[in-house]
Amino acid sequence: MLEDDIDQAALLRHWLTAANHTVEHFPDADSFLRAVSHESFDLYILDWLLPKSSGIGVLKQLRARDPEGVPVLFVTVRDDEDCIVEALHAGADDYMIKPVRRSETLARVEALARRRLKTPVESISVSPYELDLEQHQLFMNGEPLSLTTREFELASFLFRRLGQIVSRAHLLESVWGAGHSAMHTRTVDTHISRLRRKLRLADAPGWKLTSIYQHGYRLEHADQDQSATLDKLQARG
């Protein structure tokens, strides 16, 4: 969430965390853009009026990097039609005018999150690995690896965010559907340890599943820009 008004940010954070969403708040564009360059998020909430920058400028940078990427919700006092049209044309997925209402805000956030989950990616191929997202199978050099359902969900989440730092809280919410606690954090760490072993990273040169102190984990490859491809197929139905 990019919001320079501390009170507004605190209110939105309260609503969203009470609805079991994990929220990170950034008061300025620089800190926000630094974070999104190496961390993984499911939704961006942007204010328009910011110190030394604007939400529309940030949105254009986001879409220049990833034209069809993470959904963007504008929450702003700018209520004129020209601003709304400009934001939508620049790549915003939704637009809300302050003051916002709790139930409507949560409904819009959840609708955008559902849209994100429907991204039509059926397989991920990153040599020597291939993930079949329909059949829930992971192959290494054509050989199927034995993973539990949870381990496969964790692996697919990390492969979709190759090279990005993923926090334990994000993993808990997205893979387990759970909130953050010491017990749940240990569960993540245990599954990551098992996944490292089952992915046989020692037999895959250049691959690492790294623990980032006080942040989370990152699955990375030394040559990921050249070797990573997402096979995006047409959505069914």
Task: Tell me the per-residue pLDDT of 128-148, one tens digit each, with 9 for 90 and over.
Answer: 999 998 888 999 999 999 999
* Statement to judge: residues 134 and 96 lie in one domain: no
- Mean pLDDT (the chain) is 86
Once rounded to an integer, what is the mean pLDDT over residues 56-66?
90
CA distance linking residue 86 with residue 88, whole number of Å: 6
Helix (H), strand (E) at residue 37: helix 29-38
Average pLDDT over residues 195-212: 89
How does pLDDT run across 77-115, given as a tens digit for each residue? Answer: 999 999 999 999 999 999 999 999 999 999 999 999 887
Look at residue 141 in the predicted model and tell me its pLDDT: 92
Q: Residue 152, SS3?
A: helix
Considering the domain architecture, whether residues 179 and 204 belong to the same structural domain is answered as yes
- Last-in-domain residue among 82, 117, 152: 117
Same domain, 76 and 33: yes
pLDDT tens sequence across 213-235? 878 899 998 765 433 434 433 33
| Mean pLDDT computed over 185-203 | 89
pTM of the model: 0.64
Length of the chain: 237
Residues 210 and 101: beta-carbon distance below 8 Å: no
pLDDT given at position 235: 34
Domain end position, chosen among 62, 90, 117? 117
**Same structural domain, 174 and 213:** yes
Q: Is 166 a residue whose pLDDT tops 60?
A: yes
Establish if 60 belongs to a structural domain.
yes
Over pLDDT 70: what percentage of the chain? 88
Domain assignment present for 1: no
91 and 132 housed in the same domain: no
Burial label for 134, CB within 10 Å (0-12, 13-18, 19+), is exposed
CA end-to-end span of the chain: 33
pLDDT tier at 182, thresholds 50, 70, 90: low
66 pLDDT higher than 80: no
Coil/strand/helix, residue 76: strand
Give residue 206's pLDDT band: very low, low, confident or very high (50, 70, 90).
confident
Residues 78 and 63 in one domain: yes
The residue range of the domain holding 163 is: 121-232
Residue 237 lies in a domain: no
Residues 102 and 181 in one domain: no
Average pLDDT over residues 174-191: 78
Is the pLDDT higher at 176 or at 46? Answer: 46
Out of 75, 95, 117, pick the residue that ends a domain: 117
Separation between Cα atoms, residue 180 and residue 77, nearest integer Å: 32
**CATH assignment of the domain containing 209:** 1.10.10.10
Please say if the pLDDT value at position 74 is more than 90.
Answer: yes
